[in-house]
Amino acid sequence: MGMKNSKGKEALFTEINITPLTDIFLVLLIIMMVVAPTFQSNDTSIKIPEINSGISVESTNATVSVTKEGNMYLNGNPVTEENLSDELIALKDSLEKPELVVKADEKVKSAKIMEIMNAAQDAEYKKLIVAGEPLSKKEQKDLENKKKTRG
């Protein structure tokens, strides 16, 4: 593309218009400034996520409930870590499928859940389901009351 200079000769246009390029960069900068705060993590407010969808847990499965104190219950009956595997083996014959559901309070340590998983593996359960909803306070009180009335 040529332009005529003051002497009448045709000269080449060698300048680049950077205005559109600057506009693009400014738009990208604004987008990043708006979006960047959403990527920051807040470690002080870590909580168990709530589940909005999923499948319901069948009541025909064996259920191990763990209270915040660490007490375990197999289908509402108190059970200890030592005899959990034996209790699961005894219960396995009465179940349609060898599946175990674990319901635990949000304050239960993951090591306790791992112990339940190991007991289920020893009892040869094929599937372990960790319920997304922890034990409610009412469920924990009901289990504690059952323990007191039996003990």
pLDDT in tens, the chain (151 residues): 556 666 666 767 778 888 999 999 999 999 999 988 777 654 443 344 455 455 555 556 788 888 877 888 888 788 888 888 888 888 888 887 888 888 887 778 888 888 888 888 888 888 888 776 555 677 767 777 776 776 5
- Give the global pTM: 0.53
Return the pLDDT at 48.
Answer: 44
Residue 119 contacts residue 80 (beta carbons within 8 Å): no
Give exposure, 78-110, as e/b (b: 16+ Cβ within 10 Å): ebeeeebbebbeebbeeeeebbbbbbbbeebee
Return the pLDDT at 24.
Answer: 95
All domains of the chain, ordered by start, with CATH?
2-34 (no CATH), 62-150 (3.30.420.270)
Token pair, residue 94, equals 């009465």
Closest C-alpha to 60, from 97, 103, 90, 87:
97
Return the pLDDT at 26.
Answer: 95
What are φ and ψ of residue 79, in 5° steps?
-145, 150
